[in-house]
Chains A and B, each alone.
Chain A
Amino acid sequence: MRLLREIIAEHRAVGDIHRMPSALADQIAAGEVVERPASVVKELIENAIDAGATRISVLVEQGGQRLIQVSDNGRGMDAADLGLAFERHATSKLRSTADLAAIATLGFRGEALPSIASVAKVVARSSTGPEEGHEITVAGGQAGAVKPAPPVGGTTIQVRNLFYNTPARRKFLKAPRTENQHIIEVVRRFALCCPQIAFDLTHGDKELFRLPASDLAGRIGAVFARRYKNAIRPVALSKEPFTVEGFVGNLSLVRGRPKEQYIFLNGRSVQDRLLNSAVYGAYRSLVSRGEYPFFVLNISMPLEAVDVNVHPAKSEVRFRDEWRVYHVLKLAVTEAIKDIPGMIPDFERPFGPAPFPAAGGPGLAPALPVDSGTLFEAAPKPAGGEGAGTAGKPGDTGGGEQRSLRPEAPYNPELIWQVHNKYIFSQVASGVVMIDQHVAHERVLYEEALKAFNGSRRPSQSVLFPQVLELATDEYSRLIDMIPYLERLGFRLREFGHQTVIIEGLPIDVAWGREQEIITDVLDRTDGRMEGAEVFEKMAASYSCKAAVKAGDPLTLEEMRNVVDRLFATENPYYCPHGRPTVVHLSAAELDRRFERI
């Protein structure tokens, strides 16, 4: 048998190494920069931003494959620059190695335009003043001459027939719809990064974005949906030498896919797991696994503290001290969301000051979450009516006598209903809050139980007719061991001999008659092999699940208020011990949308 090596040797001609034709080299390099139409859009917008544009228009046809055109009103290029711009490694942004350590512009490698022009037909038009402009055509890497042209008030670059000369690339292009999605995402990203720049995006004859210059909150509302504007909380933290600014979404914007998370570092979009995880870390107790909060955050730091020259696409970065950045970011977000009631989807706090000025909306944030519109018109109005905040003092709510002493919870105790003997609905300014009564009560009891194990014993209501509980031998001895913990929960048990105990006192939340079922369940769900915290958690979970009101139990008004007040006083009101949500918010805007009012 002949060796493979020999066969290769036979076919190999001497002196086979050669320089690639520059067109081929450009095409290979282009592979790294220009992956798909969206990459072209990205590079061209970066150039426009670097040129100081305040308005950028993007026009694409057929998912960008037929045409991508980016026009800006930036400083433009003169005839000489226009000629150089398409040469490899030609840049106006970097002159020395020292500059590389502190890159302030989005571009710096000088390879975007030549790469694009090697795989498409490009026409670039630019003017530096009102008098005259120039244009150059480059196709498949072959540059034509720079010719005079009418002024365009900046630069317009037209890219036609992308990948016309690289069939391999072309094959990998997805349907125009999909490519267009990627383009939209690129434009959205820049739009969020630079709200002070006006953007528009047109696909064929369809206008997809028309974004006037704005502040970030306004831009978020314009880029996503208007409701986002009322569902975000500002982030602002300065910790030398870092600054973190932007917005994080409340729980109504939590999504099941990682899609709406934006971090900009010194004005550059970056994708960095560590930074994302810093934000998720701050949310930890509010969202469960597989849920992703919304955020748009700008981090500023000294240019030297970060290296952006990691990859040609420039979206990866390296930090000199990544853990510092991590902690500052996490702290900033933690600060922003620590005001829990504000994190509940779309709530105004019932009586406190509005979390931040409700931009737009003629009514401004009402002091009371009274009915703001068309829903539940037949419902009784709160005693204070909709007057100019006269009912703003917590003591004025009437009805519940002891209300004035309670912490405020983000619901309206006057407009509260039980639905299907299962859910508690309350009307708030922004819409409707819906609470699962069982899960809510379970969360309350769970936290109370854990607290009881860790110190403060719960009170116990003695009963006139104590129940007797008889158990099998092994269970009996286990129950005897457990008595001290059951007592902390508020049970009072007495050994009665013959494998029986008498239950003489009950936790306040346990109705007489439920005690046997609860205690046997706690026994069933724990066993002798468990230790320490695990036993406590298991006991608390079993107790809270069994002792909580059930779906199907009718509740009085006072009972509903009590459960909801206590729920919002827990450390983690939004999820039950098993991770199911306790509270869902349906915004008035969402209802309006469903009824096709807007």
Chain B
Amino acid sequence: MKFTIQKSTLQGALQQLGKVVPSRSTLPILSSVLLSAKDGRLSLRATDLEISQIITVDAVMSAEGEVAVPQRTFLEITSEMPEGELTFEVQKNNQVQLTTAFGTYSIMGKPAAEYPSLPSVDRQQAVEIEGKLLRRVIDKTAFAVSRDDLKPSLMGVLFRFQEDNFIAVATDSHRLVRYTYHEPPKGGYVGDNIIPVKFLNILTAYLENVDMVTFNIGENHIMVQSGDTELYTRIIEERFPDYETVFPQDNDKKLVVEREEFLSAVRRVSIFSNRTTHQISLKLGADGLNLSTEDAETVSAAQEQVKGVFDGEELMIGYNANYLRDVISHLDSDTVKAEFSSAVSAAIFYSEQQREGEELTMLLMPIRLSE
């Protein structure tokens, strides 16, 4: 295997793959990237067994072949190389030799056969989504995904492609986001897929200047192509909880507040909350709401009044300040509406003016405050 490549091209590809390479893994080969020179093309691949990424780059081929090279080391070396061309050659025993105008360097590679193979995706089913829309969906939902691997179904965003709309849902069982787009994406595919959040976070970086992306949906995997990059992900094969039934129907206590004011008050008050429980309480009344917190451990307390319109019986309700902050900060109109029922049931949060063609709704479960 031998090829010549621009240093900056190689460096760029290795950098991108670094996001997929797991920081620690029980399988040492995963800290390497696989380089394949075949049919006059050079491709680089990384995987964490759930997500795979392939980048195809321009290079001048001299000999075909494959080898796995430790990503971190390879990137560090490449970054220090002078601008210009660099020749990569595999010698016997997977010994890799790099040659530049300044000298030769050699590092140890690993046999390509040890590297996990690429998942196969049947490309019959495809959905096309606007890059901008997909970015927005990810931005509005990913934060609510659970990080607890006890509930794998909650570690991704549910993408629900339906005949007349497209819905994305994320929840960690304490809060829930539902994003509805009132038009179905192109392609005619109908179905539910839970997509791992790590994949979505990597994907979103490629969506900046892309008009349309295609989701190629297979039995167990999804592949998304963007320019010279292919991203694969495993689909989380679990049942997503029945989220529609938890949307309350009769929350009759209604609050309208300025979003920025509300958000900054929550930020300030939460600094004084208990670091484990993060509990703050909202007292809802005629003049709007009163935020307060008290932490016996550190003997700190705070309270703030936020002006607003409240319609309904007075209510005292507790929240995890971080969750509340996340919810408010991911809404994007000037005014926020919230509807409550009791101190132990879900409240609904949404923007007063929804954007054209979409609906963004969030649910937040309270904390019953300590005594």
Interface residues in chain A, defined as those with a beta carbon under 8 Å from any beta carbon in chain B? 401-402, 405-407, 455-465, 492, 504-505, 508-509, 511-514, 562, 565-566, 569
Contact B367 A459 (CB under 8 A): yes
Q: List 16 A-B contacts (CB under 8 A).
A: A402-B271, A402-B273, A405-B298, A455-B371, A459-B369, A462-B174, A464-B174, A464-B175, A464-B176, A464-B365, A465-B241, A505-B344, A508-B277, A512-B148, A514-B150, A562-B275
Contact B174 A460 (CB under 8 A): no
Contact A401 B271 (CB under 8 A): yes
Known contacts A407-B298, A463-B174, A513-B148; A492 and B241 CB within 8 A of each other: no
Contact A406 B344 (CB under 8 A): no
- Which of B297, B320, B363 makes the CB contact (< 8 A) with A464? B363
Complex: A455 Cα to B296 Cα, angstroms: 14
Complex: A459 Cα to B317 Cα, angstroms: 12
Contact A462 B275 (CB under 8 A): no
Contact A461 B246 (CB under 8 A): no
Which chain B residues lie closer than 8 Å to A465 at the CB level? 173, 241-242, 246
Which chain A residues lie closer than 8 Å to B318 at the CB level? 459
B295 lies within 8 A of chain A by Cβ? yes
Known contacts A457-B370, A459-B318, A464-B363; A513 and B151 CB within 8 A of each other: yes
Query: How many residues on the B side are at the interface (Cβ–Cβ under 8 A)?
Result: 38
- Beyond A464-B365, A512-B172, A513-B148, 12 additional pairs, beta carbon < 8 A: A405-B295, A405-B298, A406-B298, A407-B297, A456-B370, A462-B344, A462-B366, A463-B365, A464-B241, A465-B242, A505-B344, A508-B367
- Which of A456, A461, A565 makes the CB contact (< 8 A) with B367? A461
Contact B275 A512 (CB under 8 A): no
Min C-beta distance of A332 to chain B, whole Å: 31
Contact A512 B150 (CB under 8 A): yes
Known contacts A405-B295, A512-B173, A566-B276; A460 and B271 CB within 8 A of each other: no
Q: Which of A402, A457, A514 has the most CB of B within 10 A?
A: A402
Contact B173 A562 (CB under 8 A): no
Which chain A residues lie closer than 8 Å to B67 at the CB level? none
Min C-beta distance of A562 to chain B, whole Å: 6
Which chain A residues lie closer than 8 Å to B148 at the CB level? 511-513
Which chain A residues lie closer than 8 Å to B171 at the CB level? 464
The residue in chain A whose Cβ has the minimal distance to the Cβ of B243 is A464
| Interface SS of B by simple majority | loop
- Which of A458, A463, A511, A569 makes the CB contact (< 8 A) with B370? A458
The residue in chain B whose Cβ has the minimal distance to the Cβ of A462 is B365
Which chain A residues lie closer than 8 Å to B241 at the CB level? 464-465
The residue in chain B whose Cβ has the minimal distance to the Cβ of A508 is B277
Contact A405 B300 (CB under 8 A): yes
Q: Which of A401, A462, A566 has the most CB of B within 10 A?
A: A462
Complex: A455 Cα to B344 Cα, angstroms: 21
Closest 6 A-B residue pairs measured CB to CB? A513-B150, A462-B365, A460-B368, A459-B370, A405-B298, A457-B371
Contact A463 B275 (CB under 8 A): no
Which chain A residues lie closer than 8 Å to B146 at the CB level? 512
Contact B297 A569 (CB under 8 A): yes
Complex: A311 Cα to B277 Cα, angstroms: 63
- Which of A405, A464, A509 makes the CB contact (< 8 A) with B346? A464
Which chain B residues lie closer than 8 Å to A562 at the CB level? 275-276
Complex: A512 Cα to B153 Cα, angstroms: 12
Contact B276 A405 (CB under 8 A): no
Which chain B residues lie closer than 8 Å to A509 at the CB level? 276
Which chain A residues lie closer than 8 Å to B271 at the CB level? 401-402, 405
The residue in chain A whose Cβ has the minimal distance to the Cβ of B245 is A465
Min C-beta distance of A414 to chain B, whole Å: 17
B350 lies within 8 A of chain A by Cβ? no
Complex: A465 Cα to B318 Cα, angstroms: 19
Contact B346 A511 (CB under 8 A): no
Per-residue interface assignment for chain B, residues 271 to 300, with 1 indicating a CB less than 8 Å from any chain A CB and 0 otherwise:
111011101000000000000000101101
Complex: A513 Cα to B371 Cα, angstroms: 25
Which chain B residues lie closer than 8 Å to A458 at the CB level? 370
Contact A462 B345 (CB under 8 A): yes
Which chain B residues lie closer than 8 Å to A464 at the CB level? 171, 173-176, 241, 243, 246, 346, 363, 365
The residue in chain A whose Cβ has the minimal distance to the Cβ of B319 is A461
Complex: A406 Cα to B273 Cα, angstroms: 11
Contact B367 A462 (CB under 8 A): yes
Which chain B residues lie closer than 8 Å to A401 at the CB level? 271
Within 8 A of A (CB), among B235-294: 241-243, 246, 271-273, 275-277, 279
Which chain A residues lie closer than 8 Å to B344 at the CB level? 462, 492, 504-505
Complex: A407 Cα to B276 Cα, angstroms: 13
Which chain A residues lie closer than 8 Å to B371 at the CB level? 455-457
The residue in chain B whose Cβ has the minimal distance to the Cβ of A457 is B371
Per-residue interface assignment for chain B, residues 339 to 371, with 1 indicating a CB less than 8 Å from any chain A CB and 0 otherwise:
000001110000000000000000101111111
Complex: A492 Cα to B275 Cα, angstroms: 22
Complex: A110 Cα to B369 Cα, angstroms: 76
Min C-beta distance of B73 to chain A, whole Å: 16
Which chain B residues lie closer than 8 Å to A492 at the CB level? 344, 368
Complex: A176 Cα to B135 Cα, angstroms: 83
Complex: A80 Cα to B293 Cα, angstroms: 87
Complex: A401 Cα to B270 Cα, angstroms: 11
Complex: A405 Cα to B272 Cα, angstroms: 8
Which chain B residues lie closer than 8 Å to A565 at the CB level? 275
